[in-house]
Amino acid sequence: MLINDKYGLKLDAINWSKTTTPPFKRLKIKKRKNLLPFEAEFDLFNHRGIHIDPADWNELIQSEDTLLIDVRNKYETDIGTFKNSIVPDTVNFLEFPNFIKELENNKKPKKIAMFCTGGIRCEIASSYMLTQGFEEVYQLKGGILNYLDKINEQNQLWEGDCFVFDERVSVDQTFEKGSFMQCFGCRRPLSEEDTKAKEYIKGVSCSYCHDISSHKDKERFAQRQKQIELSEQRGEKHMGVSQRKLNA
Protein backbone atom coordinates (compact mmCIF):
# COMPACT_ATOMS: atom_id res chain seq x y z
CA MET A 1 0.00 0.00 0.00
CA LEU A 2 2.76 2.42 -1.02
CA ILE A 3 0.33 5.05 -2.34
CA ASN A 4 -1.69 4.94 0.88
CA ASP A 5 1.44 5.43 3.02
CA LYS A 6 2.85 8.15 0.76
CA TYR A 7 -0.26 10.34 0.54
CA GLY A 8 -2.16 9.32 3.67
CA LEU A 9 -5.21 8.24 1.71
CA LYS A 10 -8.15 6.30 3.11
CA LEU A 11 -8.37 3.47 0.62
CA ASP A 12 -11.34 1.66 2.13
CA ALA A 13 -13.15 0.91 -1.14
CA ILE A 14 -10.79 -0.73 -3.58
CA ASN A 15 -11.65 -3.06 -6.43
CA TRP A 16 -8.93 -5.70 -6.57
CA SER A 17 -8.27 -7.67 -9.76
CA LYS A 18 -5.73 -10.41 -10.38
CA THR A 19 -3.85 -10.89 -13.63
CA THR A 20 -0.99 -13.09 -14.79
CA THR A 21 0.43 -10.31 -16.98
CA PRO A 22 1.12 -6.62 -16.21
CA PRO A 23 -2.09 -4.68 -17.06
CA PHE A 24 -0.16 -1.41 -17.45
CA LYS A 25 3.15 -0.75 -19.19
CA ARG A 26 4.23 1.89 -16.70
CA LEU A 27 3.17 3.40 -13.37
CA LYS A 28 2.37 7.09 -13.40
CA ILE A 29 0.92 8.97 -10.43
CA LYS A 30 -0.47 12.48 -10.84
CA LYS A 31 -1.98 14.81 -8.28
CA ARG A 32 -4.93 16.69 -9.75
CA LYS A 33 -7.40 19.22 -8.45
CA ASN A 34 -10.26 17.41 -10.21
CA LEU A 35 -10.21 13.77 -11.19
CA LEU A 36 -12.82 14.26 -13.91
CA PRO A 37 -13.80 17.32 -15.97
CA PHE A 38 -17.22 18.49 -14.84
CA GLU A 39 -18.35 22.11 -15.17
CA ALA A 40 -21.39 22.23 -12.90
CA GLU A 41 -22.35 22.91 -9.30
CA PHE A 42 -22.33 19.98 -6.88
CA ASP A 43 -21.35 19.21 -3.29
CA LEU A 44 -19.41 15.98 -3.43
CA PHE A 45 -18.63 15.80 0.27
CA ASN A 46 -22.08 16.49 1.71
CA HIS A 47 -24.52 15.24 -0.93
CA ARG A 48 -23.92 11.94 -2.66
CA GLY A 49 -26.09 9.06 -3.76
CA ILE A 50 -26.81 6.09 -1.52
CA HIS A 51 -24.40 3.22 -2.16
CA ILE A 52 -26.09 -0.08 -2.98
CA ASP A 53 -24.22 -3.37 -2.55
CA PRO A 54 -24.12 -5.67 -5.59
CA ALA A 55 -26.24 -8.21 -3.69
CA ASP A 56 -29.11 -5.69 -3.48
CA TRP A 57 -28.67 -4.12 -6.92
CA ASN A 58 -30.90 -6.44 -8.96
CA GLU A 59 -33.90 -5.83 -6.73
CA LEU A 60 -33.51 -2.05 -6.97
CA ILE A 61 -33.15 -1.82 -10.74
CA GLN A 62 -36.06 -4.17 -11.39
CA SER A 63 -38.41 -1.93 -9.40
CA GLU A 64 -40.98 -0.24 -11.67
CA ASP A 65 -40.41 3.18 -10.10
CA THR A 66 -36.63 3.12 -10.65
CA LEU A 67 -34.93 4.79 -13.62
CA LEU A 68 -31.60 3.13 -14.39
CA ILE A 69 -28.85 5.33 -15.89
CA ASP A 70 -25.50 4.30 -17.33
CA VAL A 71 -23.19 7.21 -16.49
CA ARG A 72 -20.39 6.09 -18.83
CA ASN A 73 -19.59 7.36 -22.31
CA LYS A 74 -20.74 5.89 -25.61
CA TYR A 75 -17.55 4.02 -26.48
CA GLU A 76 -17.95 2.14 -23.17
CA THR A 77 -21.69 1.50 -23.32
CA ASP A 78 -21.46 0.22 -26.89
CA ILE A 79 -19.97 -3.08 -25.72
CA GLY A 80 -22.11 -3.72 -22.64
CA THR A 81 -24.56 -2.34 -20.09
CA PHE A 82 -27.29 -3.37 -17.65
CA LYS A 83 -30.57 -4.60 -19.04
CA ASN A 84 -33.16 -1.82 -19.51
CA SER A 85 -30.71 0.97 -18.65
CA ILE A 86 -30.86 4.44 -20.19
CA VAL A 87 -27.68 5.22 -22.12
CA PRO A 88 -27.05 9.00 -22.47
CA ASP A 89 -24.69 8.47 -25.46
CA THR A 90 -22.33 11.13 -24.14
CA VAL A 91 -19.00 11.62 -25.89
CA ASN A 92 -17.45 12.80 -22.62
CA PHE A 93 -18.52 13.43 -19.04
CA LEU A 94 -18.89 17.17 -19.67
CA GLU A 95 -22.08 16.40 -21.61
CA PHE A 96 -23.79 14.70 -18.65
CA PRO A 97 -25.47 17.91 -17.31
CA ASN A 98 -27.16 18.39 -20.71
CA PHE A 99 -28.56 14.89 -20.48
CA ILE A 100 -29.92 15.66 -17.01
CA LYS A 101 -31.59 18.84 -18.29
CA GLU A 102 -33.43 16.79 -20.90
CA LEU A 103 -34.46 14.38 -18.17
CA GLU A 104 -35.77 17.26 -16.06
CA ASN A 105 -38.05 18.38 -18.90
CA ASN A 106 -39.97 15.16 -18.41
CA LYS A 107 -41.57 14.07 -15.17
CA LYS A 108 -38.82 13.35 -12.67
CA PRO A 109 -38.75 9.65 -11.73
CA LYS A 110 -39.08 8.84 -8.04
CA LYS A 111 -35.89 6.80 -7.90
CA ILE A 112 -32.65 7.10 -9.84
CA ALA A 113 -30.17 4.22 -9.92
CA MET A 114 -26.85 4.86 -11.63
CA PHE A 115 -23.69 2.93 -12.34
CA CYS A 116 -20.25 3.30 -13.91
CA THR A 117 -17.10 1.21 -14.20
CA GLY A 118 -15.72 1.51 -10.68
CA GLY A 119 -17.97 4.07 -8.98
CA ILE A 120 -15.94 7.26 -9.37
CA ARG A 121 -18.11 9.01 -11.96
CA CYS A 122 -21.22 8.11 -9.97
CA GLU A 123 -19.87 10.02 -6.97
CA ILE A 124 -19.94 13.22 -9.02
CA ALA A 125 -23.05 12.42 -11.07
CA SER A 126 -25.16 11.50 -8.05
CA SER A 127 -24.08 14.63 -6.18
CA TYR A 128 -24.98 16.78 -9.18
CA MET A 129 -28.41 15.17 -9.58
CA LEU A 130 -29.21 15.75 -5.91
CA THR A 131 -28.42 19.46 -6.35
CA GLN A 132 -30.83 19.47 -9.32
CA GLY A 133 -33.74 18.37 -7.16
CA PHE A 134 -33.76 14.60 -7.65
CA GLU A 135 -34.68 13.23 -4.25
CA GLU A 136 -33.75 9.54 -4.33
CA VAL A 137 -30.45 8.79 -6.03
CA TYR A 138 -28.70 5.44 -5.67
CA GLN A 139 -25.41 4.21 -7.06
CA LEU A 140 -23.84 0.78 -7.46
CA LYS A 141 -21.14 0.39 -4.81
CA GLY A 142 -17.81 -0.36 -6.43
CA GLY A 143 -19.35 -0.04 -9.88
CA ILE A 144 -19.78 -2.65 -12.57
CA LEU A 145 -16.48 -4.34 -11.73
CA ASN A 146 -17.58 -5.02 -8.17
CA TYR A 147 -20.91 -6.38 -9.43
CA LEU A 148 -19.28 -8.75 -11.93
CA ASP A 149 -16.88 -9.93 -9.26
CA LYS A 150 -19.54 -10.52 -6.59
CA ILE A 151 -22.60 -11.74 -8.52
CA ASN A 152 -22.73 -15.15 -10.17
CA GLU A 153 -23.11 -14.98 -13.95
CA GLN A 154 -26.45 -16.84 -13.86
CA ASN A 155 -27.91 -14.19 -11.53
CA GLN A 156 -26.59 -11.13 -13.33
CA LEU A 157 -28.63 -8.52 -15.19
CA TRP A 158 -25.51 -7.33 -16.97
CA GLU A 159 -25.31 -7.83 -20.74
CA GLY A 160 -22.07 -7.84 -22.74
CA ASP A 161 -18.55 -6.83 -21.71
CA CYS A 162 -17.32 -4.02 -19.46
CA PHE A 163 -14.67 -1.69 -20.85
CA VAL A 164 -11.65 -1.26 -18.56
CA PHE A 165 -8.79 1.22 -18.73
CA ASP A 166 -5.89 -1.21 -18.97
CA GLU A 167 -4.47 -3.70 -21.45
CA ARG A 168 -7.29 -6.18 -20.85
CA VAL A 169 -9.53 -3.71 -22.75
CA SER A 170 -12.67 -5.43 -21.40
CA VAL A 171 -13.83 -8.04 -18.91
CA ASP A 172 -16.71 -10.43 -19.46
CA GLN A 173 -19.49 -11.55 -17.12
CA THR A 174 -17.16 -14.02 -15.42
CA PHE A 175 -14.74 -11.17 -14.65
CA GLU A 176 -12.19 -12.63 -17.05
CA LYS A 177 -10.48 -10.79 -19.92
CA GLY A 178 -13.03 -10.14 -22.66
CA SER A 179 -12.85 -10.63 -26.40
CA PHE A 180 -12.30 -7.00 -27.39
CA MET A 181 -9.04 -5.46 -28.57
CA GLN A 182 -8.16 -1.78 -28.70
CA CYS A 183 -7.42 0.68 -31.47
CA PHE A 184 -4.20 2.52 -30.73
CA GLY A 185 -5.33 5.52 -32.75
CA CYS A 186 -8.41 6.32 -30.66
CA ARG A 187 -8.31 3.66 -27.88
CA ARG A 188 -11.85 2.49 -28.57
CA PRO A 189 -12.70 -1.17 -28.00
CA LEU A 190 -12.91 -3.21 -31.19
CA SER A 191 -14.68 -6.49 -31.84
CA GLU A 192 -13.31 -9.10 -34.23
CA GLU A 193 -15.85 -7.83 -36.77
CA ASP A 194 -14.51 -4.26 -36.39
CA THR A 195 -11.03 -5.44 -37.39
CA LYS A 196 -12.40 -6.65 -40.72
CA ALA A 197 -13.31 -3.10 -41.78
CA LYS A 198 -11.19 -1.62 -44.58
CA GLU A 199 -10.32 1.35 -42.34
CA TYR A 200 -8.72 -0.90 -39.74
CA ILE A 201 -4.92 -0.88 -39.75
CA LYS A 202 -3.36 -2.61 -36.77
CA GLY A 203 -1.79 -0.07 -34.42
CA VAL A 204 -2.83 2.83 -36.64
CA SER A 205 -6.58 3.33 -37.12
CA CYS A 206 -10.05 1.83 -37.14
CA SER A 207 -13.41 2.72 -38.70
CA TYR A 208 -14.14 5.08 -35.77
CA CYS A 209 -11.04 7.26 -36.17
CA HIS A 210 -9.68 6.68 -39.68
CA ASP A 211 -11.40 9.72 -41.19
CA ILE A 212 -10.66 12.09 -38.30
CA SER A 213 -7.02 11.30 -37.50
CA SER A 214 -4.38 13.25 -39.40
CA HIS A 215 -1.94 11.83 -41.92
CA LYS A 216 0.87 12.81 -39.57
CA ASP A 217 -0.70 10.82 -36.73
CA LYS A 218 -1.16 7.78 -38.95
CA GLU A 219 2.50 7.89 -39.98
CA ARG A 220 3.59 8.18 -36.35
CA PHE A 221 1.36 5.29 -35.26
CA ALA A 222 2.62 3.16 -38.16
CA GLN A 223 6.22 3.73 -37.08
CA ARG A 224 5.32 2.79 -33.52
CA GLN A 225 3.63 -0.41 -34.69
CA LYS A 226 6.74 -1.31 -36.68
CA GLN A 227 8.88 -0.87 -33.57
CA ILE A 228 6.49 -3.04 -31.56
CA GLU A 229 6.74 -5.84 -34.11
CA LEU A 230 10.55 -5.59 -34.18
CA SER A 231 10.64 -5.77 -30.38
CA GLU A 232 8.42 -8.86 -30.43
CA GLN A 233 10.76 -10.53 -32.93
CA ARG A 234 13.63 -9.91 -30.51
CA GLY A 235 11.59 -11.23 -27.59
CA GLU A 236 11.47 -7.81 -25.95
CA LYS A 237 8.61 -5.75 -24.51
CA HIS A 238 8.00 -2.44 -26.27
CA MET A 239 7.06 0.28 -23.77
CA GLY A 240 5.54 2.49 -26.44
CA VAL A 241 4.46 6.09 -26.05
CA SER A 242 1.43 7.63 -24.43
CA GLN A 243 -1.71 6.94 -26.42
CA ARG A 244 -4.13 9.62 -27.47
CA LYS A 245 -6.54 9.94 -24.57
CA LEU A 246 -10.21 9.18 -24.88
CA ASN A 247 -12.47 11.85 -23.47
CA ALA A 248 -13.09 11.22 -19.77
- Whether 116 is a known active-site residue: answer yes
DSSP state of 237: -
Q: Is 234 exposed, middle or buried (0-12, 13-18, 19+ CB in 10 A)?
A: exposed
CA distance 203 to 181: 11
C-alpha distance from residue 37 to each of 13, 113, 125 (Å):
22, 22, 12
The single residue of 116, 122, 162, 183 carrying the catalytic annotation is: 116
Which residues are CB-contacts of 113 (< 8 A; sequence separation ≥ 6)? 52, 57, 60, 61, 66, 67, 68, 69, 138, 139, 140
CB 139 within 8 A of CB 52: yes
Q: Is 180 in a helix, a strand, or coil?
A: coil
Query: Which residues are identified as catalytic?
Result: 116
